[in-house]
Structure 1
Amino acid sequence: MADEVDIAALSADQQLALQQFTAVTDQALQDAVPLLERCQWNVQIAIARFFDGEPAAAAAQPAPQDVRRQETLMNGLGSPRSSMSSGRRVGVEPAPRVVPQPESQVNMQAPLVFTLLWAPVSLLYSLLAKYFRFMGYLFPFVPRTWGRLTASNIRHPPSRPSAGRRPLNPRDTAARFVRELEEDYGPNELPFHEGGYASAFDLAKKGLKFLLVVLVSPEHDLTPSFLRDTLLSPEVVTFIRDPANNILLWAGSVSDSEAYSVSTALNCTKFPFSGLIVHTPSVSSSAMGIAARLSGLMPPSQYIAKLRSAMATHSEPLNRVRAQRAEQNATRNIREQQDSAYERSLATDRERARKKKEAAEAAAAAEVAARAAEEAAERHANQLAQWKKWRAASLPREPGPDVKDVVRISLRMPNAERVVRRFAADAQMEDLYAFVECYHVLQSGEDTGAVQEPAHFSHAYTFQLVSPMPREVYELSAGGTVKERIGRSGNLIVERIGGDDESEDEEEEEEEEEQ
């Protein structure tokens, strides 16, 4: 048995070529690699050689011996055991895969001597053709009159001449044969393959079916009887259409180029001809052989009996190959399912890892943002405390009892504390707001003389002064002095902007007192 193929040792292009070749041919890896190596890893050439019957592992295995045995005097006088063993072996003639060249592309080159001898005639014919074409151009009525005079004398060719048929592609040629058969013998239920011989050959080889090739000659006398009494008989039609027989039918007329090429390749010497082609695993893993040859006219029962006998001989090897391919397909499906499950599991793990990474990154970003916000809040609190101390040092002192032009303000703090203070009449409203903001600093009695204004700090008051009855808000943005805005006296309430709770205000005041 051949060694296992190391797929990892192949390059990416070689692995792709191996995958394409095995997908088309269903060959094992140890059989496909040697053929691809001989074809220099060209997939198209390897597939063509494979379907031409070349063994895939010919480089690793010895060439199969020809099982056909010629009966000679030495063989006839051999031992009985050798005679019996040789009699058990079935001789199968290899069946070639025929891809005929279109007739439009065939270039028939005459010998040089004949070309030189025919040159004057060809030149004279060319000159006469040009002369008559010129005369027909000058006198258009002459070609029409000549055509009417000679039309009645022209004999039409027969409906299907054996020569001169227009060449078609394989599919159209097969359709023409079926159409002509129905025109001559009426509709039938034969399952003809709608394609060329090469496609039927490949399909039978890949599907492990029996390829029944029927070749007829329109000029043969037995052709009508064979088609009418044998091939189109109900028994033969039922036998061919039976799915249990796995028969693929391809037929053609040798008047067509493809069928003629097939008859030449199959060595047909007598028509009508029927050949049963089957896969022969005993010879090679990719070989096709001719299991039976049926020539001439025979009754339907004899025709079916010969086909059934040949099929029975090759049914067991085909069943083994079918079981092997079914096992390979099952193994391939299991491997694909495992690979798919692994890919899904890998995708799930990757998605889980991605979400975990994103969650960790989000948590880290949130922690950094919280730390930055905490640092900013702490920095703002320190700068605010420094500003309060600086502003408390710059506030004008409360006027003494001897000063008559003063304004008496009664303030109710957010913590419900009542504070009464006198301000000079010309004191600005900002001084009143600054007194409320720095009240706790003033009450603490700290030394604020050496405190400087914090750099890059913009202070904003978070409260407003309101007169309860009637309600009037003394906004700082309106400016003015205390006397102009409030009068000689006033009762004001300190309201927090934004609806902060009193408990929060008390906590902030306690923190400021501690500082």
Structure 2
Amino acid sequence: MSPQDFDPGQLSESQQLALGTYTSVTNQEPSAAIPLLQRSEWNVEIAITKFFDGEAPDPVAEARAALPASPPPPQSIRRETLLNGAPSNLRYPRSPPRESAPRIVAQAESQQNYKPPLLLAILFTPFNLLYRLFSSSFSLFGYLFPFLPRLLPRLSSGSSPARSRTRRRALNPRDTAARFTREFEEEYGDHPLRFFENGYAQAYDLAKKDLKFLLVVLISPEHDDTSTFVREIFLSQEAVNFINDPQNNIILWAGSVQDSEAYQVSIALNCSKFPFAALVVHTPQDSTTTMSTIARITGLQPASAFVAKLRTAINQHSQALDRVRATRNEQQATRNLREEQNSAYERSLAQDRERARQRREAEAAQKRAEKEVRAMAEAKEREAQMLEQWKRWRAQSIPEEPGPNVRDITRISIRLSDGERVIRRFAEEADIEELYAFVECYDILTASENTASATEPVGYEHKYGFRLVSPMPRITYDVHAGGTVGSKVGRSGNLIVEPIIVEEDDEA
């Protein structure tokens, strides 16, 4: 089957699984991945190693490839969450099992003390005395046989938490680290090393998260070689330069075994001799654990040998960490791109929603305006109808003009708002409102319409939209002031109709 025209349906289920795993890790096209997988006998781990490290001639593999094809052995798939450091579909060449580096959370002795009630304390007093006697005897044996105190904690570490052999006050991890740094500087002076300013668990988590090397240094102030180790090896210029080099990605955590946390770490890392240094790192190629101890340095040795062991261990594991970093960076870039796309989509969706909201508000405002216009038009139309009905009804009660034989009259000349002049006689005892009603109903009166059937509109309160004014001198005859025509105007008068609609609108 040529790789140019291969058919995935012709592959077996295990071969399809191997092809999918290989392409998901290397992002290589299937047409280019088929030849390499065939040369690797469909072994995904060997193919991935050849892809990243380069392919060299392998006589054994070529000879085995010449044998009849056999179904590939099932691959053990190691699934690990991103929190532990590697994607679930990534595979690495198998390596010898390493010593696990557990995560140690400091347990303060002060938090473990328990004061029983007085009655229980009295009941258990004999047992307490026996325990103290036994402890004193055991201390004597420990002095005579120094290997016993170290052997017994190692045997009992799995069943009970480690306890420090000192009576130093237990602090929280950050304060413990600050106390160690202060005591270290008081003993050995200023130094260029940068200790991690928190507990071992925090340094452990940071090294695991950022894929860095955690250098754990444990010292015992009571040990004879401690001062020599610190001055000639740990603080030597070669070791300081190597540890502080940012390219080595080293997180330095140090502690004294007189502190509870450092003592627990020494037991977890199987420290059997002081001074002690261990290099812990994330090992994705190891199928048994995620954080392993890749180097252990105990006792006194030249500074060059100390640095050489650290450099060798770092160089052996840097390539695997670089692959994990590249995978993480690619995944992070994919997540960032997806988040940016989601953010752009959300912004676009928010803009569309805002435009839709504005459009709905504009349409609603337009509908309200149109409704108000219609309502105003309908109100004006109803007002005009009610006014017309009122005028027809009011015209019925306007008395006829007095005849020539009536002596007590008032002759009034009225200039209407359209410029027409009307001369009419009114009885002197007629109310001034009769004059206003005549002007309002003049068009009905002149039309000679039959208004006998007109009724007063219900709920309508008529207001005159004009005022009658005498020009010389200017006198306004207000309808609300009341009075008779004779008392207000006299025997005769010349009046002008002035509209007041504009003035009312201005006041509103």
TM-score (norm 2): 0.71
Is the partner of 2:204 in helix, strand or coil?
helix
Say if 1:419 and 1:183 are closer, same or farther in 2 by CA, change over 3 A.
same
In structure 2, which of residues 74, 96, 104 is the aligned counterpart of residue 98 of structure 1? 104
Would you say how many aligned residue pairs link Structure 1 and Structure 2?
A: 391
Instruction: Label 1:347 to 1:190 Cα distance change in 2 as closer, same or farther (>3 A).
Output: same
Q: Is residue 185 of structure 1 aligned with residue 188 of structure 2?
A: yes
**2:310 counterpart residue number:** 307
Structure 1 residue 286: deviation in Å?
6.8
The aligned residue for residue 215 of structure 2 is 212
2:433 to 427, 430, 433: 430
Alpha-carbon distance in structure 2 between the residues aligned to 1:256 and 1:332: 43
- What does residue range 76-225 of structure 1 map to in structure 2 within 5 Å? 89-106=95-112, 119=126, 122=129, 163-225=166-228
Q: Tell me what 1:358 maps to.
A: 361
Measured after TM superposition, the shift of residue 230 of structure 1 is: 0.4
Distance of aligned partners of 1:412 and 1:224 in 2 relative to their CA distance in 1, 3 Å threshold: same
Q: Residues of 1 paired with 2:381 and 2:330: CA distance?
A: 75
Distance 2:396 2:267 in 1: 122
Distance 1:163 1:385, change over 3 A: closer
Letter in 2 for 1:258: E
User: 1:27-67, CA deviations, whole angstroms, 9 ceiling, x for partnerless residues?
Assistant: xxx8449xxxxxxxxxxxxx8xx69xxx997xx999x99x6
SS at structure 1 position matched to 2:368? helix
Residues 435 and 100 (structure 1), Cα distance of their counterparts in 2 relative to 1, 3 Å cut: closer
Does the residue aligned with 1:493 lie in a helix, a strand or coil? strand
Where does the alignment leave 5 or more consecutive residues of structure 2 unmatched? 1-16, 22-78, 116-121, 133-163, 504-508
Aligned to 2:467: 464
Asked whether the equivalents of residues 100 and 289 of structure 2 are also in contact (C-alpha less than 8 Å), the reply is: no
1:394-444 superposed Cα distances (whole Å, 9 cap, x missing partner): 110011222222211111111111111111222221111111111111111
C-alpha contact (below 8 Å) 2:97/2:288 kept by paired residues: no
Alignment of 1:495-510 (within 5 A): 495-499=498-502
Instruction: Give the aligned partner of residue 444 of structure 1.
Output: 447
Distance 2:288 2:486 in 1: 115
Counterpart Cα distance in 1 of 2:289 and 2:351: 43
- Whichever residue aligns with residue 412 of structure 2, its letter is I
Structure 1, 162-171 or 177-186: larger mean CA deviation = 162-171
**CA distance in structure 2 between the partners assigned to 1:61 and 1:247 by the alignment:** 25
Query: The residue matched to 1:394 in structure 2 has which SS?
Result: coil
Q: CA deviation at 1:116?
A: 10
- Using the TM superposition, give the Cα deviation of residue 357 of structure 1 relative to its aligned residue in structure 2, in angstroms: 1.6
Post-superposition CA distance 1:273-323 (Å, at most 9, x none): 111111101014970111111111111111111111110000000001111
Over 3 Å counting, the alpha-carbon distance change for 1:469 and 1:231 in structure 2 is same
2:495 aligned with 1:492 = yes
In the aligned structure 2, how far is the partner of 1:242 from the partner of 1:349?
53
Distance 1:409 1:240 in 2: 119
Cα offset, 1:242, TM superposition: 0.8
Which of 240, 250, 259 aligns to 2:243? It is 240
CA–CA distance in structure 1, aligned partners of residues 382 and 167 of structure 2: 105
Deviation at 1:228, TM superposition (A): 0.5
1:492 CA displacement: 0.9
* Distance of 1:344 and 1:244 partners within structure 2: 41
Q: CA deviation at 1:169?
A: 2.3
**RMSD between aligned residues:** 3.3
- Partner of residue 293, structure 1: 296
Alpha-carbon distance in structure 2 between the residues aligned to 1:499 and 1:119: 112
How far apart are 1:107 and its partner, in Å?
6.3
Structure 1 residues 235 and 116: alpha-carbon distance in aligned structure 2, compared to 1, 3 A threshold: same
Offset at residue 104 of structure 1 (A): 2.4
Q: CA deviation at 1:462?
A: 0.9
Query: In the alignment, which residue of structure 2 is the partner of 1:280?
Result: 283
Mapped to 1, the partners of 2:225 and 2:108 lie a distance apart of: 29
| CA positional deviation for 1:232 | 0.6
Instruction: Answer yes or no: is 1:407 the counterpart of 2:410.
Output: yes
> Deviations 1:117-148 (Å, cap 9, x if unpaired)?
9729959x9xxxxxxxxxxxxxxxxxxxxxxx
What residue is the counterpart of 1:257 in the other structure?
Answer: 260
Q: Any conservation in 1 of the 2:276–2:296 contact (CA below 8 Å)?
A: yes
1:56–1:286: 8 Å Cα contact kept in structure 2?
A: no
| TM-score calculated relative to the size of structure 1 | 0.70
1:375 counterpart = 2:378 = yes
Unaligned runs of 5+ in 1: 5-29, 34-46, 68-88, 110-114, 126-160, 501-515
Pick closer, same or farther for the CA change 1:121–1:250 going to 2, 3 Å.
Answer: closer
Deviation at 1:370, TM superposition (A): 1.7
Runs of 4+ in 1 over 3 A off after TM superposition: 1-4, 30-33, 105-109, 115-118, 120-123
1:78-111: CA deviation from partner (whole Å, max 9, x where unpaired): xxxxxxxxxxx455222111224222244699xx
Once the two structures are TM-superposed, the CA of residue 240 in structure 1 deviates from its matched residue by 0.7
- Whether the 8 Å contact between 2:97 and 2:286 is mirrored in structure 1 is no
Residues 381 and 106 of structure 1: CA distance in aligned 2, closer, same or farther (over 3 Å)? closer
The 3-state SS of whatever aligns with 1:416 is: coil
Hey, what's the Cα distance between the residues in 1 that align with 2:288 and 2:392?
Answer: 101
- What SS does the corresponding residue of 2:396 show, helix, strand or coil? helix
Q: In 2, Cα distance between the equivalents of 1:406 and 1:278?
A: 124
1:162-184 CA deviation, whole Å, 9 max, x = no partner?
73322222222222222222122
What corresponds to 1:455 in structure 2? 458
Distance change in 2, residues 1:117/1:490 (3 Å): closer
